[in-house]
Amino acid sequence: MRTFFIYPNLRKQSAREILPSVCERLRGRDIRLILPNQMRGTMHALHDEVMALDYMDTAEAVRIADAAVVLGGDGTMLRIARAAAQNELPLLGINVGHVGFMTELEPAELDKMQALLEGDYQLDSRMMLHVEVERHGRRVYENDALNDIVIAKGTAFRVVRVGISADGEEVTRFNGDGVIAATPTGSTAYGLSAGGPVIEPSAENLAVIPICAHALAAKSFVFAPERTLAITAACEGGSEVFISADGGQGFAVRPDDRVLITRSALRTRLIRLKGNSFYRILQQKL
């Protein structure tokens, strides 16, 4: 790896504070460091020794970089995950957020980044989900997600009627606040908070988890990755229901829409330097 895209969460002061140290540890002969275009003109806040940097749009940087170093938490990782997956760009996360399940290093562990320059690392390949909204036989929305697809009400005090089928066969129906479709990576995020199962990443299953279901019998389901899930959702009183991929901008779903969820052709590649197992990470983070 010789070209690194440094992707900081600029809303976090802690990310700005460690940025000079990150750049310094990646400096070397024939090493190219790239920062997002919006940081151009702000380099006076950094130490003089890391001034030799390139700037470009994220879309261009993820195409040419060998790896991206993400300064933030899981939310920052999710914001770049789809573009990185489209370009098979590995991500190294440095946690300046709260939990940081997907990040690899803490700010006190920056010295371990030397392993990147020496090629001493592993890649953890993570399953993603693909979602489409079908309206009268026409696709009106599609996206990919590393964590989860959430279908939920847009108005408080309303109930969403959810129907779920797998490969054309009805699985369940329930009323509640909505439903989560989560990857194993996302099973430790919103899905866990909603009472869903924890799934180890290598299992590559797809979990469907009700949100505040109004029925004792409403349970989570874990599906094989080959399944095609079809979900319908309608809110009483005509209130809107929204779908969101990895917490991104919501898209309004109509009562007669079908939300189709499958395993994505994309995969997120996470750089691992410490060799911690999934179970050890769980013990540390939860």
* Pairing of β 178-182 and β 138-145: unpaired
Q: pLDDT for 100-156, tens place per residue?
A: 889 999 999 999 999 998 899 999 999 999 999 999 999 999 999 999 999 999 887
**Domain extent listing, the chain:** 3-120, 128-266
Residues with active-site annotation: 74
CATH code, residues 128-266? 2.60.200.30
Q: What is the DSSP letter of 105?
A: B
How confident is the model at residue 112, as a pLDDT? 95
Residue reference for tokens 């990919």: 144
Q: Is 74 annotated as a binding residue?
A: yes
Q: Is 192 annotated as a binding residue?
A: yes
- What architecture does CATH give domain 3-120? 3-Layer(aba) Sandwich (3.40)
Confidence band (pLDDT; 50, 70, 90) for 48?
Answer: very low
Q: Is 144 annotated as a binding residue?
A: no
Distance CA 191, CA 150 (A): 9
What are 152's strand-pairing partners? 178, 242
How confident is the model at residue 188, as a pLDDT? 93
Task: Return the amino acid letter for 259.
Answer: V
